[in-house]
């Protein structure tokens, strides 16, 4: 576990990699000043199309998976949680710029720890997002479902607690989306883009 603590900055730096910013900049766009202003896959998909959004999603997912996988390799599940969480924090709270909401990075972390659960809930997320046309609703519902599912499967209590805290962080990062959903101003993946984050 000592080595995992030493490597925490590596997990954080992995999470900081600005995928959405770089992809959008390559197309001449500042993703933090366009659409919802969120540097994440949904906003990129809304602005530049689903292919670019899928690219951002895949890379951000890989960041969390790489950090968590490194932890698992060096010192088991505890280290996987530590380094994976560091990547999620790096993604949501990067130094010197606006961060994303952490859904993809957290998904990458969790696929290392719960591959079958992630696979099943990913299908549910895709169905909800497709039917409702709103990735934010799908993400919020999965945030609630994940710790509940892990608890039902009788994993250790500390794992359920860590995942619940992670889910709470992601829900908090969706505060603006929740306000827009309540006021019925939240736009869909293919609809017009809001001007505020």
- Rounded distance between C-alpha atoms, residue 140 and residue 29, angstroms: 27
The reply to whether 190 falls in a domain is no
> Tell me: the pLDDT tens digits for 36-61?
889 999 899 989 999 999 999 999 99
Predicted TM-score (pTM) of this structure: 0.86
pLDDT exceeding 90 applies to what percent of the chain? 73
| Cα→Cα distances 90→12, 16, 98, 164, Å | 4, 5, 11, 18
In a domain, 195, yes or no: no
Q: Does a structural domain hold residue 11?
A: yes
**Number of residues assigned to the chain:** 197
Mean of pLDDT values over 63-90: 96
Assigned domain for 188 exists: no
Do 80 and 112 meet the contact criterion of CB atoms below 8 Å apart? yes
**Number of compact structural domains in the chain:** 1
Report d(CA 92, CA 101) in Å as an integer: 6
> Is residue 73 situated within a structural domain?
yes
In a domain, 137, yes or no: yes
Q: Which positions ≥6 away from 16 have C-beta within 8 Å?
A: 90, 91, 94, 95
Residue numbers of the domain that contains 15: 2-182
């Amino acid at each position: 576990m000592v080595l995992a603590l030493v490597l925490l900055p590596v997990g954080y730096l992995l999470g900081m990699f600005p995928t959405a910013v770089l992809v959008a900049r390559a197309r001449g766009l500042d993703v933090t000043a366009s659409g919802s202003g969120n540097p994440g896959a949904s906003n990129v998909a809304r602005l530049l199309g689903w292919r670019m959004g899928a690219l951002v999603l895949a890379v951000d997912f890989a960041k969390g998976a790489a950090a968590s996988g490194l932890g698992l390799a060096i010192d088991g599940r505890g280290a996987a949680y530590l380094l994976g969480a560091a990547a999620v924090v790096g993604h949501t709270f990067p130094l010197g710029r606006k961060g994303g909401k952490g859904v993809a990075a957290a998904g990458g972390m969790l696929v290392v720890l719960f591959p079958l659960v992630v696979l099943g809930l990913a299908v549910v997320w895709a169905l909800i997002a497709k039917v409702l046309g709103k990735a934010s609703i799908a993400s919020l519902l999965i945030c609630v479902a994940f710790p509940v599912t892990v608890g039902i499967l009788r994993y250790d209590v500390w794992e359920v607690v860590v995942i619940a805290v992670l889910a709470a962080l992601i829900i908090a990062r969706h505060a603006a989306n929740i306000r827009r959903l309540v006021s019925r101003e939240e736009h869909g993946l293919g609809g017009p883009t809001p001007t505020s984050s």
